[in-house]
């Protein structure tokens, strides 16, 4: 009997082969971080859970930062002309900028609301301080996309060689052309004036919520990602969407990524192009503001250097965490929470003014 059982086991091995542990899965669809960051930033799938918690933590951080704004405003009522820009206020606003610049909730809108609810004197901070904070998050983009930045700078050494990086750089400039309208003094003055209109910012936040809800429909942007940049037509349409984002409350990242999805890009390419063109948009605005500050210094005017520096550093550090979290969330298409948040925040802004 024992020999009979052994005979059957040997027959099974000949027919089915020896038993083995199930093979560990490799390959498959690229991870969102790999697709969005490129090979220099690829990580194993075991980090997905950590990234999920990070994304949730960043979203919670936005709410905490706004809560700090509200509590600080309550604790320090505005004097005539408004509160001075202290280091504490600058750090709070820097955290808001860093958390909201890359999350599709409009950093300029949140800065406007934060400054209004904190009762900060517009002459002490206002538009100029906002640009300084944007410069901090600009450096965060340069760091996260440093591999792309190196390649784009390498194009300058061989400007006639037709490569994907050369085409990408050309498309970035095409997307930035519509921003020329913002250089018109009347348009710039209108944007600056809107920053203090809390209810208008609230309406713009609701518009951003509608854009995200329409753009991130299930299945949109799920195509296979490539290294090929958008076409000239796609880049121009994305650039037009970026123009509307100069209004406080309209998210630049949200509107440009949504435009990229609408013209047929997959989510990784849409996000990548959105943040690369911000190097030109935000970099140009920052350079202009630096020249203005230098001109004011030469004429005897001064700024609060320590608060400005504190806000800049805070926006840089928080922005690094925020950008990495958003890239993961966009890769997964998880933006519904931001839509809900924008609706609530916009409604509150409209209601309380």
Model pLDDT for residues 97-130, shown as the tens digit of each residue: 888 877 778 777 787 787 777 777 666 666 678 7
Domain count, the chain: 1
Residue 342: CB atoms within 10 Å: 29
Angle at which helices 305-332 and 48-75 pack, to 10 degrees? 140
The CA distance from 88 to 55, in Å, is 25
Residue 108 domain flag: yes
Tell the residue number behind the tokens 């309550």, with chain if given.
74
Confidence at residue 6, expressed as pLDDT on a 0 to 100 scale: 53
Residue 11 domain flag: no
The CA distance from 289 to 135, in Å, is 10
Residue in 71, 136, 61, 100 with CA at minimum distance from that of residue 289: 136
The CA distance from 34 to 45, in Å, is 10
Residue 26 domain flag: no
Residue 40 domain flag: no
Residue 288 domain flag: yes
Residue 274 domain flag: yes
Residue 32 domain flag: no
Model pLDDT for residues 8-65, shown as the tens digit of each residue: 555 544 444 444 444 444 444 444 444 344 444 444 444 544 444 444 444 445 444 4
Residue 233 domain flag: yes
Q: Give CA separation, 298 vs 127, 293, 301, 302, in Å.
A: 20, 9, 7, 9
Q: What is the three-class DSSP state of 120?
A: strand
Confidence at residue 27, expressed as pLDDT on a 0 to 100 scale: 42
List of the chain residues with pLDDT < 50: 2, 12-46, 48-60, 62-80
The CA distance from 238 to 101, in Å, is 18
The CA distance from 229 to 235, in Å, is 9
Q: What is the three-class DSSP state of 83?
A: strand
pTM score: 0.67
Confidence at residue 4, expressed as pLDDT on a 0 to 100 scale: 54
The CA distance from 151 to 196, in Å, is 40
Confidence at residue 76, expressed as pLDDT on a 0 to 100 scale: 42
Cβ partners under 8 Å of residue 220, min gap 6: 261, 333
Q: Identify the domain containing residue 187 by its residue range.
A: 50-352
């Amino acid at each position: 009997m024992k020999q009979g059982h052994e005979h059957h086991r040997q027959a099974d091995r000949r027919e089915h082969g020896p038993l083995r542990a199930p093979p560990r899965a490799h390959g498959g669809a690229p991870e969102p971080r790999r697709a969005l960051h490129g090979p220099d930033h690829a990580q194993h799938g075991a980090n997905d859970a950590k990234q999920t918690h990070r994304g949730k933590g960043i979203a919670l951080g936005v709410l905490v930062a706004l809560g700090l704004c509200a509590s600080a405003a309550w604790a320090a009522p505005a004097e005539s002309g408004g509160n001075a820009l202290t280091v504490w206020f600058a750090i709070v606003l820097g955290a808001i900028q860093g958390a909201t610049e890359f999350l599709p909730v409009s950093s300029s809108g949140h800065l406007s609301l934060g400054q209004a609810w904190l009762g900060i004197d517009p002459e002490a901070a206002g538009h100029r301080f906002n640009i300084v904070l944007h410069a901090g998050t600009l450096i965060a983009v340069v760091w996260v996309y440093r591999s792309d930045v190196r390649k784009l700078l390498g194009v300058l050494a061989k400007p006639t060689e037709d490569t994907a990086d050369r085409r990408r750089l050309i498309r970035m400039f095409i997307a930035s052309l519509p921003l020329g309208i913002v250089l018109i003094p009347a348009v710039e003055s209108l944007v600056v004036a809107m920053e203090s209109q809390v209810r208008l910012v609230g309406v713009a936040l609701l518009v951003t919520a509608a854009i995200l809800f329409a753009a991130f429909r299930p299945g949109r942007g799920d195509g296979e990602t490539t290294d090929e940049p958008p076409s000239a037509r796609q880049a121009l349409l994305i650039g037009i969407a970026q123009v509307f984002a100069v209004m406080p409350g309209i998210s630049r990242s949200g509107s440009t990524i949504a435009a990229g999805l609408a013209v047929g890009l997959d989510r990784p390419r849409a996000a990548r192009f959105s943040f690369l063109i911000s190097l030109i948009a935000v970099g140009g605005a920052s350079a202009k503001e630096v020249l203005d500050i230098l001109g004011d210094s030469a004429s005897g005017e001064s700024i609060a250097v320590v608060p400005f520096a504190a806000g800049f550093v805070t926006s840089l550090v928080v922005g690094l965490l925020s950008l990495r979290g958003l890239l993961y969330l966009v890769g997964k298409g998880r933006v519904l929470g931001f839509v809900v948040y924008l609706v609530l925040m916009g409604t509150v802004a409209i209601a309380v003014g």
